[in-house]
Chain A
Amino acid sequence: MWMKLTLGVLTLSMIFALLGCGDDGDSSKGSSDTGENPDLAVMIRIDDTTGFLSVLDGSSVTELTNANGTELYSGTAIYGYNGYIYTGGSMDNDNIAKYEVQDDNSLKRVAQTNVYESGGSIPTSFTFVNETKAYLPLAGIGQLIVINPTDLSITKRIDLSAYAMDTNGETGGSDTNPEPGDGVIRDGKFYLGLAQIDSFGTYACAGKASVLIIDVETDEILKHITDDRTCATGVLSPNPGFALDENGDIYLNNTASWGYGAGLSAGFLRIKNGEDEFDPDYFFSINDLTLDVPGGVSSYAYTSLYMGNGQLYTTLFIPGLTSDSPDYVNDRNYAPYVLDLYNQTATKLDMPATAGWATYLINYNGEVVYGMSTSDATGLYKAGATEPYITTEGSPYILTAF
Chain B
Amino acid sequence: MLKQLTLIFLLIIGLSSNATANEDKNTDQEDMGTITVEEESEARTLTHSPIPVSVIEMEKFHGRNISLNEVLKRVAGVKIRQEGGLGSRATIAIHGLEGKRVKVFIDGNPLNAPDGTFGINDIPIQLIERIEVYKGVVPARFGGDALGGAVNVVTRDFKENYIDLTASAGSYNTRRGTFVFKKNFDEQKMELGVGGFYNSADNNYEMDSPFVDGLKIKRDHDRFLSYIAAIAGSFKERWFDEIEFELVRYESEKEIQGIQTVIKKAKTKSRVNLLALAFEKENFFIDNLEFEYDIAYIDLTLNFIDKATTCHNFDGTTRPCSGAGGEVGDYPRDSDDKQIDLRHDLNLHYLITKNYGLNFHLNIQNSKYRPKDELANESLGYDIGAFPSEKTNTVMSLGLESSHLKGAIVNDFGLKWYRYDFEITSQERSLTGEPAQSQNDGFERGWYESIRYEALKDLFIKASYEHAFRLPDSEEVFGDGVTITSAPELQPEEADNFNLGVLFDRYDFHGLPWVKAEFNYFYKELKNLIKLEYGIHTAGYVNQGEVEVKGFETEVQLDINDHWYMYANYTKQTLKDVQKKLPGSNADNPTYNHDLPNVPKEFGNYGIEYKMLGVLRGDSLLKLFWETNWADEYFYGWELSKHQDRKIEAQVSHTAGFDYSFNQDLWIIGFEVRNLTDEEITDVFNYPLPGRTYHINVRYSWFET
Chain A contact residues, CB within 8 Å of chain B: 3-4, 6-8, 10-14, 16-17, 19-22, 24-30, 44, 46-50, 52, 65-71, 92-95, 106-107, 114, 117-120, 140-142, 161, 167, 174-177, 198-204, 237, 258-260, 262, 299, 302, 319, 322-332, 355-357, 373-378, 393-394
- The answer to whether B261 touches A28, judged by C-beta atoms less than 8 angstroms apart, is no
- The answer to whether A199 touches B430, judged by C-beta atoms less than 8 angstroms apart, is no
The residue from A26, A117, A176 contacting B215, defined by CB atoms under 8 A apart: A117
- The answer to whether A7 touches B642, judged by C-beta atoms less than 8 angstroms apart, is no
Can you add 19 more A-B contacts, CB < 8 Å, to A52-B640, A93-B211? A13-B517, A20-B552, A21-B573, A22-B574, A27-B594, A29-B641, A29-B642, A118-B262, A119-B258, A175-B324, A176-B322, A177-B323, A199-B379, A202-B331, A202-B380, A260-B537, A325-B487, A326-B429, A378-B587
Interface centre among B260, B536, B641, B646 (most CB of A within 10 A): B641
Give the residues in chain A near B483, CB-CB below 8 Å.
201
Complex Cα spacing A13 to B343, Å:
44
- The answer to whether B540 touches A327, judged by C-beta atoms less than 8 angstroms apart, is yes
Give the nearest-CB partner of B597 in chain A: A50
Give the nearest-CB partner of A3 in chain B: B630
Of the 9-residue stretches B46-54, B238-246, B312-320, B691-699, which lies at the interface with chain A? B312-320
Complex Cα spacing A203 to B381, Å:
12
- The answer to whether B519 touches A13, judged by C-beta atoms less than 8 angstroms apart, is yes
- The answer to whether A119 touches B211, judged by C-beta atoms less than 8 angstroms apart, is yes
Instruction: Type the 1/0 row for B560-603, where 1 means its CB is closer than 8 Å to any CB of A.
Output: 00000010111011100000001111111011011101100010
Question: Distance in Å from the Cβ of A37 to the closest Cβ of chain B?
Answer: 20
Give the nearest-CB partner of B631 in chain A: A3
Give the residues in chain A near B643, CB-CB below 8 Å.
68-71, 106-107
Give the nearest-CB partner of B427 in chain A: A325
The residue from B261, B311, B544, B641 contacting A68, defined by CB atoms under 8 A apart: B641
Can you list 12 A-B contacts with CB-CB less than 8 angstroms, sorted by A residue number?
A4-B630, A6-B606, A11-B555, A52-B640, A106-B643, A117-B215, A174-B325, A177-B323, A198-B380, A202-B431, A324-B429, A377-B587
- B277 is an interface residue with CB less than 8 A from chain A: no
The residue from A204, A260, A373 contacting B587, defined by CB atoms under 8 A apart: A373
- The answer to whether B542 touches A328, judged by C-beta atoms less than 8 angstroms apart, is yes
Given known contacts A11-B568, A29-B642, A4 and B552 CB-to-CB distance under 8 angstroms:
no
Give the residues in chain A near B639, CB-CB below 8 Å.
26, 28
Complex Cα spacing A262 to B431, Å:
9
Given known contacts A20-B550, A27-B593, A161 and B320 CB-to-CB distance under 8 angstroms:
yes
- The answer to whether A17 touches B552, judged by C-beta atoms less than 8 angstroms apart, is yes
Given known contacts A46-B590, A93-B211, A328-B542, A14 and B554 CB-to-CB distance under 8 angstroms:
yes
Given known contacts A375-B586, A393-B640, A3 and B652 CB-to-CB distance under 8 angstroms:
yes
- The answer to whether A21 touches B572, judged by C-beta atoms less than 8 angstroms apart, is yes
The residue from B556, B573, B595, B637 contacting A12, defined by CB atoms under 8 A apart: B556
The residue from B211, B323, B519 contacting A199, defined by CB atoms under 8 A apart: B323
Complex Cα spacing A237 to B309, Å:
26
Chain A-chain B contacts (Cβ-Cβ < 8 Å), number = 281
- The answer to whether B572 touches A66, judged by C-beta atoms less than 8 angstroms apart, is no
- The answer to whether A201 touches B594, judged by C-beta atoms less than 8 angstroms apart, is no
Given known contacts A21-B573, A140-B322, A118 and B314 CB-to-CB distance under 8 angstroms:
yes
- The answer to whether B550 touches A46, judged by C-beta atoms less than 8 angstroms apart, is no
- B509 is an interface residue with CB less than 8 A from chain A: no
- The answer to whether B604 touches A7, judged by C-beta atoms less than 8 angstroms apart, is yes
Complex Cα spacing A236 to B638, Å:
28
Give the residues in chain B near A70, CB-CB below 8 Å.
641, 643
- The answer to whether A3 touches B628, judged by C-beta atoms less than 8 angstroms apart, is yes
Give the residues in chain B near A92, CB-CB below 8 Å.
260
- Which 4 A-B residue pairs are closest in the complex by CB-CB distance? A330-B584, A10-B568, A50-B637, A199-B330
Complex Cα spacing A142 to B533, Å:
28
Give the residues in chain A near B426, CB-CB below 8 Å.
324-325
Instruction: Type the 1/0 row for B127-154, where 1 means its CB is closer than 8 Å to any CB of A.
Output: 0000000000000000000000000000
- The answer to whether B536 touches A356, judged by C-beta atoms less than 8 angstroms apart, is yes
Give the residues in chain A near B482, CB-CB below 8 Å.
201-202
- The answer to whether A71 touches B646, judged by C-beta atoms less than 8 angstroms apart, is yes
- B61 is an interface residue with CB less than 8 A from chain A: no
Interface size on B, residues (CB 8 A): 104
- The answer to whether B574 touches A262, judged by C-beta atoms less than 8 angstroms apart, is no
Give the residues in chain A near B570, CB-CB below 8 Å.
7-8, 11
Give the nearest-CB partner of A54 in chain B: B641
- The answer to whether A114 touches B212, judged by C-beta atoms less than 8 angstroms apart, is yes
Given known contacts A3-B630, A66-B641, A70-B641, A356 and B535 CB-to-CB distance under 8 angstroms:
yes
Complex Cα spacing A223 to B149, Å:
63
- The answer to whether B260 touches A10, judged by C-beta atoms less than 8 angstroms apart, is no
Complex Cα spacing A201 to B484, Å:
10
- B502 is an interface residue with CB less than 8 A from chain A: yes
Question: Distance in Å from the Cβ of A283 to the closest Cβ of chain B?
Answer: 21
Given known contacts A7-B630, A21-B573, A199-B324, A49 and B637 CB-to-CB distance under 8 angstroms:
yes
Give the nearest-CB partner of B630 in chain A: A3
Give the nearest-CB partner of B258 in chain A: A119
- The answer to whether A326 touches B485, judged by C-beta atoms less than 8 angstroms apart, is yes
Give the residues in chain B near A20, CB-CB below 8 Å.
521, 550-552, 572
- B644 is an interface residue with CB less than 8 A from chain A: yes
Question: Distance in Å from the Cβ of B604 to the closest Cβ of chain A?
Answer: 4
The residue from A24, A117, A174, A377 contacting B585, defined by CB atoms under 8 A apart: A377
Near A by CB (< 8 A), chain B positions 291-337 give 309, 311-315, 319-325, 329-331
The residue from B519, B598, B604, B641 contacting A52, defined by CB atoms under 8 A apart: B641
- The answer to whether B330 touches A326, judged by C-beta atoms less than 8 angstroms apart, is no
Question: Distance in Å from the Cβ of B80 to the closest Cβ of chain A?
Answer: 18
- B109 is an interface residue with CB less than 8 A from chain A: no
The residue from A19, A204, A377 contacting B381, defined by CB atoms under 8 A apart: A204
Complex Cα spacing A27 to B540, Å:
32
Given known contacts A17-B572, A325-B540, A176 and B320 CB-to-CB distance under 8 angstroms:
yes
Give the residues in chain A near B642, CB-CB below 8 Å.
28-30, 67-68
- The answer to whether A48 touches B534, judged by C-beta atoms less than 8 angstroms apart, is yes
Give the residues in chain B near A65, CB-CB below 8 Å.
640
Interface centre among B325, B538, B584, B643 (most CB of A within 10 A): B643
Give the nearest-CB partner of B583 in chain A: A329
- The answer to whether A142 touches B322, judged by C-beta atoms less than 8 angstroms apart, is yes
Give the residues in chain B near A377, CB-CB below 8 Å.
585-587
Given known contacts A66-B590, A66-B640, A67-B640, A201 and B331 CB-to-CB distance under 8 angstroms:
yes
- B488 is an interface residue with CB less than 8 A from chain A: yes
Give the residues in chain B near A7, CB-CB below 8 Å.
568-570, 604, 606, 630
Give the residues in chain A near B551, CB-CB below 8 Å.
20-21
- The answer to whether B644 touches A12, judged by C-beta atoms less than 8 angstroms apart, is no
Question: Distance in Å from the Cβ of B635 to the closest Cβ of chain A?
Answer: 9
Question: Distance in Å from the Cβ of A194 to the closest Cβ of chain B?
Answer: 14
Question: Distance in Å from the Cβ of B666 to the closest Cβ of chain A?
Answer: 36
- B428 is an interface residue with CB less than 8 A from chain A: yes
The residue from B315, B427, B429, B487 contacting A319, defined by CB atoms under 8 A apart: B429
- The answer to whether B591 touches A46, judged by C-beta atoms less than 8 angstroms apart, is yes
- The answer to whether A118 touches B312, judged by C-beta atoms less than 8 angstroms apart, is yes
Complex Cα spacing A330 to B542, Å:
9
- The answer to whether A11 touches B211, judged by C-beta atoms less than 8 angstroms apart, is no
Give the residues in chain B near A22, CB-CB below 8 Å.
550, 574
- B166 is an interface residue with CB less than 8 A from chain A: no
Complex Cα spacing A47 to B637, Å:
9
Give the nearest-CB partner of B569 in chain A: A11
Complex Cα spacing A297 to B251, Å:
51
Question: Distance in Å from the Cβ of A3 to the closest Cβ of chain B?
Answer: 4
Given known contacts A52-B641, A141-B322, A142-B322, A10 and B606 CB-to-CB distance under 8 angstroms:
yes
Complex Cα spacing A328 to B533, Å:
6
Instruction: Type the 1/0 row for B210-232, where 1 means its CB is closer than 8 Å to any CB of A.
Output: 01110100000000000000000
Give the residues in chain B near A204, CB-CB below 8 Å.
380-381, 431-432
Near A by CB (< 8 A), chain B positions 638-658 give 638-646, 652
Give the residues in chain B near A237, CB-CB below 8 Å.
536
Complex Cα spacing A362 to B704, Å:
82
Complex Cα spacing A394 to B381, Å:
38
